[in-house]
Amino acid sequence: MSHYGTGSDAVQSDGSDASSSSYGSQKTVSGHGAPVVSFENVSKHYGSLHAVEGLSLDLRAGETVALLGPNGAGKSTSLDMLLALRKPTSGQIKMFGSDPYHAVKSGRVGAMLQSGGLMPEVTVGELVTLVTTLQPRPEPVEVTLKRAGIAQIADQRVDRLSGGQTQRVRFALAICGKVELLVLDEPTTAMDVETRRLFWDSMKEEVAEGRTLLFATHYLEEADQAADRILVINRGRLLADGTPADIKARAGARRLSFRLDPVPEQFLQGLPALVNLEVRHDLVQIQTSDSDATLYAVLDAGYRPYEIEVTGLGLEQAFLAITAEDDLASGDVRAEARAEETN
Amino acid sequence: MRGIFELTRVEIMRLRRNRRYLIFTVGFPVVLYLLLGKQVTSLAYGVSFHAYYMVAMAMFGGFSGALTGNAQRISQERKDGWIRQLRLTPLPANGYVISKIFVSMATTVPSIVIVLLLGRFYGGVNLPVWQFLAIAVTIWFGATIFAALAVAIGYRYLPDQVQPIAIAVYFVFAILGGLLFPIGGGLRKVGELTPTYDAVKIATDVIANTSVSAGLAIGLVVWLLIFIGLATWSVRATAESV
């Protein structure tokens, strides 16, 4: 969090509004300021591999937060620790003010992990009913089936479903209680485009009821559209924390390109708001966090570039820029870490 | 507690749909009893062979369901991620294991009922009802011991490793304990250390109307504690990878 100042404060307004909805007032959703989830300097080491290193973050009630990071960045390990499946080597995790195990057992958290499996030999309806009866505050089974879009396959055997259907059943198991926090790891993997759209539509309903949502994804478009806050994780550390707009700005949100002959490289290096500079023959490509300022500086210095183009960078490029910068700064040990985590 | 019962109920429903376990727990003991139950006329463990073999076969079937069937399922469910999924629900951490033990007791019912009926009507083993009940209770208790062992094995090994391990371990206990044929001589001394021997001896003592020695009951409890210890060890050792 210390890396980028914009971070969490910028998005609080969204979250606070949602938490005061009817659902939130029904029980003690942690009030303003009191985080739903907090990681305090959390590390997880496997021998010499530091899967998570000094991770600190807070989630507040009603926020929709995306966790972004390349494979092996420590996303799954972090979610596992949050859900009491793994214990941190050091540091402290709190959920609703208590330790993760008790928070999970209190039925206030619904979770869907990639590694979670389903009980075979039963029907979808039977399985959802079973997990519903485990909840202290169950939702009606029909409501869950409908929300997850699996009402029409309720009579099918769980072990005979397609990948996308299985994924939706897993989602149903995460929302079959009246939970306050939803944790989803790559929720739309194995879904086709249409199902993915339906999934996010139903997610909007969940969030509108005041739920806090934390999801990991590698579809950056999803993070951009659905999240009001993004956490970028690389090599087990938090690299950036802010709104999608913050993250893009952080990475140098725009690309400015033009032609100029000859190219005054020395001068260009010193341009304001410059993040990255590439020169090929007479073509100059600049990544900048403030394209106006950069361009004005070029013009003010008396240069007259031509074929000027300013394009916005997507979240994907921003994300790649942030993680690449980090890898460069610390020598690329990421590949090694990736290999370990996928084992 | 309600969650554990609900899980147990669904598990039993699954078993009723997938009856392959009946081959080992009922089919195999019934066939052996039909082949051997009445052919041997000597005494075994102080009672008629008909009565001894009825007890031994009911136990052989019941315990095999509790051990091999359970170990296989637990290992498969761990590999599939179902145990992990359950850990994300409000079901208490030990709920899965407890419900597996209840299910093991349920899986012994077909072997108890069918083999004891076979003993009564085919083998001519005429016992008062309370003795049949005492035998059933002994089998149930024994099943919990093997269910605990199933947890220890199922959590630690992958599905394709579990089958040979569970069967090998099971046959050692079954043979040494006298579940397949009466054990005598030097092997008897070793066999007397097994829970299977304790269980057979308790049942045959009940049938013979002799008093059951406390040592046998203690033996069963000690084995239960050992296997619970092993099971706890396995569950803890794999906690981060389940």
DSSP B136-158: HHHHHHHHHHHHHHHHHHHHHS-
Percent of chain B with pLDDT over 70: 100
Alpha-carbon distance values, A18 to A32, A61, A172, A213 (Å): 11, 8, 22, 12
Chain B interface includes A136 (CB < 8 A): yes
Identify whether B242 is part of a domain.
Answer: no
Whether the CB of A115 is below 8 Å from some CB of chain B: the reply is yes
Closest chain B residue to A343, measured at CA: B241
Angle at B13 between CA B10 and CA B14, to 5 degrees: 90
Q: What pLDDT sits at residue B58?
A: 96
Mean per-residue pLDDT of chain B:
93
What pLDDT sits at residue A217?
85
Interchain contact, A105 vs B90, CB within 8 Å? yes
pLDDT beneath 50: ranges in chain A: 1-31, 334-343
Kind and range of the H or E element at A226? helix A220-226
Considering CB atoms only, which of A83, A126, A134 is closest to B90?
A134
Using an 8 Å CB-CB cutoff, list chain B residues near A86: 240
Check if A134 contacts B (Cβ < 8 Å): yes
CA A171 to the chain's CA centroid: 17
Residues from chain A that touch B6, judged by Cβ atoms under 8 A, are 130, 133-134
Q: Which of B18, B85, B87 sits opposite A121 (nearest CB)?
A: B18
The crossing angle, in degrees rounded to 10, of helices B95-121 and B70-80 is: 150
Q: From the list A113, A121, A134, which residue is nearest B3 (CB)?
A: A134
Domain that includes residue B209, residue range: 2-237
Among chain A residues, CA nearest to B85: A116
Q: Which of chain B's residues have a Cβ under 8 Å away from the Cβ of A173? A: 85, 89
Give the three-class secondary structure for B174.
helix
Single-letter amino acid, residue B131: Q
Of B10, B17, B85, the CB nearest to A116: B85
Choose the closest CB to B88 out of A83, A86, A120: A83
Q: Which of 3.10.20.600, 3.40.50.720, 3.30.450.20, 3.40.50.300 is the CATH number of A8-248? A: 3.40.50.300
- Residue of B1, B4, B6, B10 to mutate, testing the A interface (most A Cβ within 10 Å of its Cβ): B10
**pLDDT at B196 exceeding the cut of 50:** yes
Calpha distance A310→A257 (Å, rounded) = 6
Are A120 and B80 a contacting pair at CB < 8 A?
yes
Q: How many CB pairs under 8 A join A and B?
A: 79
The reported pLDDT for the residue numbered A220 is: 80
The minimum CA-CA distance between B213 and chain A, rounded to whole Å, is 43
**pLDDT value of position B122:** 93
Q: Kindly determine whether residue A118 and residue B82, on different chains, have CB atoms separated by under 8 Å.
A: yes
Question: How confident is the model over A280-318, as pLDDT tens digits?
Answer: 989 999 988 788 899 999 999 999 999 999 887 777 777
Pair A45, A70: CB distance under 8 Å: no
**Rounded to an integer, what distance in angstroms lies between the CA atom of residue B95 and that of residue A114?**
22
Q: Could you give the dihedral angle defined by the CA atoms of residues B80, B60, B234 and A118, in that order, rounded to the nearest 10 degrees?
A: 20
Q: At what angle do helices A163-175 and A124-133 cross, to 10 degrees?
A: 20
Structure tokens, A34: 């009191």
Name the strand (E) or helix (H) holding A181.
strand A181-185
Query: Residues of A with CB below 8 A from B87's CB?
Result: 83-85, 104
**Which residues in chain B are closer than 8 Å to A109, comparing Cβ atoms?**
88
Residue of chain A minimizing CA distance to B78: A117
Choose from B1, B74, B89, B236 for mutation: most chain A CBs within 10 A. B89
- A189 part of contact set with chain B, CB < 8 Å: no
Nearest CA in chain B to A106: B90
More confident residue, B18 or B156: B156
* Closest chain A CA to residue B90: A105
Q: Which residues, 6 or more positions from A184, have their beta carbon under 8 angstroms from its beta carbon?
A: A111, A112, A171, A174, A213, A214, A215, A216
Beta bridge partners of A311: A255
**pLDDT at residue A290 in the model:** 82
The enclosing H or E element of B219 equals helix B214-237
Respond yes or no on whether the N-terminal peptide bond of residue A262 is cis (omega within 30° of 0).
yes
pTM: 0.81
* Cross-chain Cβ contact A115/B84 below 8 Å: yes
pLDDT at B219: 96
**Count of beta carbons in the 10 Å neighbourhood of residue B94:** 12
Which pLDDT score, from 0 to 100, does residue A32 have?
52
For residue A157, the tally of other CB atoms under 10 A from its CB is 15
Q: How far apart are CA A4 and CA A327, in angstroms?
A: 17
B50-90 pLDDT, tens digit each: 999 999 999 999 999 999 999 999 999 999 999 999 999 99
Number of domains in chain B: 1
Inspect the interface and report whether the beta carbons of A135 and B90 lie closer than 8 Å. yes
DSSP letter for A189, please. T
Q: CB of A93 within 8 Å of any CB in chain B?
A: no
Residues of B in contact with A115 (CB under 8 A): 81, 84
In degrees, rounded to 5, the angle at the alpha carbon of residue A255 between the alpha carbons of residues A249 and A260 is 145
Provide the pLDDT for residue A195.
81
Query: Taking CB atoms and an 8 Å limit, are B90 and A177 in contact across chains?
Result: yes
Of A86, A106, A119, the CB nearest to B90: A106
Q: Which CATH class is domain A254-312?
A: alpha beta
Q: Do B90 and A121 touch (CB under 8 A)?
A: no
For residue B81, list chain A residues with Cβ-Cβ distance below 8 A.
113, 115-117
Q: Which residues of A touch B14 (CB under 8 A)?
A: 119-122
For residue B68, being part of any structural domain is answered with yes
Instruction: Decide whether A8-248 matches A254-312 in CATH topology.
Output: no
Provide the CB-side half-sphere exposure for A20 (13 A, CA): 6
The predicted pLDDT at position A30 comes to: 40
Q: Closest partner residue to B82 among A83, A119, A177, by Cβ?
A: A119
**What is the predicted pLDDT for the residue at A98?**
93
Q: Under an 8 A CB cutoff, do A122 and B10 touch?
A: yes
Tens of pLDDT along B76-130? Answer: 999 999 999 999 999 998 899 999 999 998 988 998 999 999 999 999 999 999 9
